[in-house]
Amino acid sequence: MRKKKTVVPHEISATMSSLATGGACVGTITQPEELAGKKAFIHGTAPGESVTAEVTFSKKSFVNARLLSVLQPSPDRITPRCPVASECGGCDLQHIHLAAQRSLKVFMVEDLLRIHGGVTARDGVSLLGADLPGFDYRRRMSFHLNREGAFGLYRKLARSIVEIDSCPIATATINHFLRENIALVKACAPEIETVTVEDHDGAVHLALEVHPRNESAMSTLSTKPEFKELCARFQNLQVNYRHKPIFRVIERAEGAPPVGHFSQNNRAANDLMLEYIISHVPTEAVTDLYAGAGNISIPLALAGKTVTAVELDPHLVEFGTHRAAQSGVSERLRFFSMACEKWIEQHAPETSIVLDPPRSGALEVCQRLDSSKSPWVLYVSCYPPTFARDVQVLVDRGYELIVVKVLDMFPQTYHSELIGILRPKSPTV
């Protein structure tokens, strides 16, 4: 006998309660009656609001839904500065007051640690940098081109492009680049599919990513007058083929940073993070895993620490070594180009440990850290779910989570930077 298909009601009413990973808020369905009590994830809402929404996806324990109307708005709801904030996938929270955004992020991290990690921080979870600016902060932006030359950012939960000619979270340098060069960039379609613009101390560094399914892209691109004009305007320009996990550089000015590779996006927040880290490292020797180009390693060395920096990406290692020499800390800072998982497997460092992994986290490294040898771990994370997972592993291996700081590195989005400090558990008497 064929199982009767369950019909999911098209429209729901819900009361929203908290911010969820992914940028939506989560609430409880109140109507229709057959779905009452079920969770609903709805973008564009705020905790405390009563809303109506259209169901777009349904599972046994929750639904995803598209906001239709706000019946009772939150007192924290504001008008977004950006006219396409509700469409563009770049920002999740422009409709919520900045101070409220930051409180929601702290609560979200507390819940993730407690529910998914099964741990609490001894000295709690708190905000670092309450007065950081909410706009004009982003120093690196990746824009997209389609074959017809539409230029902008991806739409929320889609791969179509929302066309823009400026972005309120980008620095003035990046927005000036857009105003002056957007016509030249659009003319590089369909050979180019991604344009990464980075602001390094007010100078634009540019990376154009060749469409990987267009075999003649490079030869065609090189004949375009608009591409030649971009090359003439920007000395620090490179063209990349997309070969994961790293880019193969076709052209890059000598001494320029490897554009499109990892770097911290928010200068003011990054400076505050480094100040916090330097003031809390208790030992003279430090091992910095997932070190990038030395964002944390070089300031630690400048503060007098002896640092071992481990990073897989050879372009970042090369640039970090160059920066260390420029900073005069080469004697106190040594880079190793290898996977951190392999490094920690081959070594048992008796130093303080700094972890700053990508979104995927540092599970294999955490599974090998020894609390009897490494007396202090500082974990910097841009993704709370993997942070919670890895902290649980460290707790199981004899560490105690002392404190977590939530740094709003990415205002107007659900993302934040977490700084967690762990130490070996005190022996019980």
Question: How far does CA 121 lie from the centroid of its chain?
Answer: 23
CA distances 403 to 123, 198, 422, Å, are 5, 33, 8
> Do 392 and 400 form a contact (C-beta atoms < 8 A)?
no
Given 25, 340, 366, 382, the catalytic residue: 382
- Tell me how far apart the alpha carbons of residues 215 and 390 are, in angstroms, rounded to a whole number: 42
In three-state secondary structure terms, 27 is strand
Any residues with CB less than 8 A from the CB of 347 and at least 6 apart, and which? Answer: none
> Do 239 and 210 form a contact (C-beta atoms < 8 A)?
yes
How would DSSP label each residue in 96-109?
Answer: B-HHHHHHHHHHHH
Beta strand ranges found along 59-124 (DSSP E): 62-72
82 is catalytic: no
Tokens of 77: 């709801």
Question: How far does CA 69 lie from the centroid of its chain?
Answer: 30
Tokens of 264: 């911290």
CA proximity to 278, closest of 295, 252, 296? 296
Burial string for 142-174 (b: 16+ CB within 10 Å, else e) reads ebbbeeeeebbbbebeeeebbebeebbbbbebb
CA distances 39 to 65, 112, 280, 386, Å, are 10, 17, 40, 23
Active site (catalytic) residues: 382
